[in-house]
Amino acid sequence: MSSVRRDYDPAELGGGIYPLLNSVVVPRPIAWVSTRSADGVDNLAPHSFFTISSVTPPVVQFTSVGAKDSLRNAVATGEFVVCLSPEQLVEQVNATATDFPPHVSEFDAVGLEREPSRLVAPPRVAASPVAIECRLAGTRDFGGGSTVVFGEVVWVAVDERVLREDRPAIDLLKPMARLGANEWSTIGEVSDRRRVPYAELQAQA
């Protein structure tokens, strides 16, 4: 039996495209973005529109939907830190998504300990196992209020307790993911699968 698909035209959906894409581009990792404002307020906010943009040079990106403090600070100071959002901190991650005014630091409002970064001014979240320190590598504004923020990775610090055989282990990192609407998820079942080289397929034929 063939499936019956429902079709969506972004031109007709307007703002409705946002919850739709949010529900189907899943699961998304949650960048816990730390920035410092030009006048010295430490800001922290989760951003799930987050990924790796480039390997050489190493670049990551997050997207600000609207003009938020994280975007303003990253552009004003040229620096940000992406911390991993682990299961054990899910309530704190969510609490930093409250729309605190710019003069209020989420670190203090939520009660999160800072840890100094190595190369940039915005602090790390001390309790997060991973900090990716970035210098602004540009922004891309598509005109409708969403701005992609690119950051060149200048330092990565990983808590040794989440390393196994010198590699960050997924069961120790315990990252949270964002799904549609207000849904969150944990990592679920993990499996290992080798990528088969074409030459191997040919040799078997």
Binding site for ligand FMN (CB under 6 A): 30, 43, 45-49, 63-66, 68-70, 94, 97, 99, 178
Rounded least distance, CB 98 to ligand FMN, Å: 6
Q: 122 with 115: CB under 8 angstroms?
A: no
Would you say 90 or 156 has its CB closer to ligand FMN? 90
Q: Cα separation of 170 and 166, whole Å?
A: 12
Question: Which is closer to ligand FMN, CB of 64 or CB of 117?
Answer: 64
The burial of 4, by beta-carbon neighbours within 10 Å (0-12 exposed, 13-18 middle, 19 or more buried), is given as: exposed
Q: Which is nearer to ligand FMN, 25 or 170 (CB)?
A: 25
- From the CB of 15, what's the least distance to ligand FMN, in Å? 14
CB of 69 to ligand FMN, least distance (A): 3
Angle at Cα 62 formed by Cα 61 and Cα 68, nearest 5°?
140
Shortest CB 48 distance to ligand FMN, Å:
4
Long-range contacts, 184-192 (Cβ 8 Å, 24+): 184/90, 184/94, 185/27, 186/87
| For ligand FMN, the closer CB: 49 or 107 | 49
Whichever of 95 and 163 has its CB closer to ligand FMN, that residue is 95
Q: Which of 92, 153, 90 is nearest to 117 (CA)?
A: 153
Which is nearer to ligand FMN, 110 or 131 (by Cβ)? 110
Name, in order, each residue with C-beta under 8 angstroms of 97's C-beta and a sequence gap of 6 or more. 45, 46
Least Å from the CB of residue 96 to ligand FMN: 7
User: Which residues are within 8 A (CB) of 102 and not within 5 positions of it... i.e. 6 or more apart?
Assistant: 37, 41, 43, 69, 72
- Minimum CB–partner distance for residue 92 and ligand FMN (Å): 11
